[in-house]
Amino acid sequence: DQQVKQNSPSLSVQEGRISILNCDYTNSMFDYFLWYKKYPAEGPTFLISISSIKDKNEDGRFTVFLNKSAKHLSLHIVPSQPGDSAVYFCAASGERALNFGKGTSLLVTP
């Protein structure tokens, strides 16, 4: 039962452009959402988070938007850089632990 869904397995964006990664969830009880970034052969690292009482959180080039009515959140990276190429996981707070999506592999091309 996948409660957090990332329907795009991969995304390719040109350097300097905006990257938009999407995430949908099914459980309306989720109240905290996070994005993690993962490079090959490494563990996920925390990127940015948002509480359900907000609809936007910004940190430098990264912005997360939350649409509670649609149960949808998105991560915007602008401008995208080649070093942003990684797998991005969306996560939502469950009762005891985080629930992760399957990830979106972002490739930023020069």
Residue numbers at the binding site for other proteins (CB under 8 A): 4, 6, 32, 34, 36, 41-46, 49, 89, 91, 93-103
- Going from the C-alpha of 104 to that of each of 5, 58, 69, 74, the distances in angstroms are 10, 20, 23, 12
Nearer to other proteins, 42 or 60 (CB): 42
Output the smallest distance, CB 15 to other proteins, in A.
Answer: 27
Structure tokens belonging to residue 12: 């390719």
Nearer to other proteins, 40 or 110 (CB): 40
Q: Pick the closer one to other proteins by CB: 45 or 109.
A: 45
- The answer to whether the beta carbons of residues 106 and 85 sit under 8 Å apart is yes
CA nearest neighbour of 48 among 70, 105, 60, 67:
60
How near is the Cβ of 52 to other proteins at its closest, in Å? 13
Nearer to other proteins, 87 or 108 (CB): 87
Question: Any bridge partners for residue 74, and if so which?
Answer: 22, 65
For the CB of residue 89, give the shortest distance to other proteins in the complex, in Å.
6
Closest CA to 73 of 99, 104, 50, 103: 50
Q: Tell me the closest approach of the beta carbon of residue 61 to other proteins, in angstroms.
A: 21
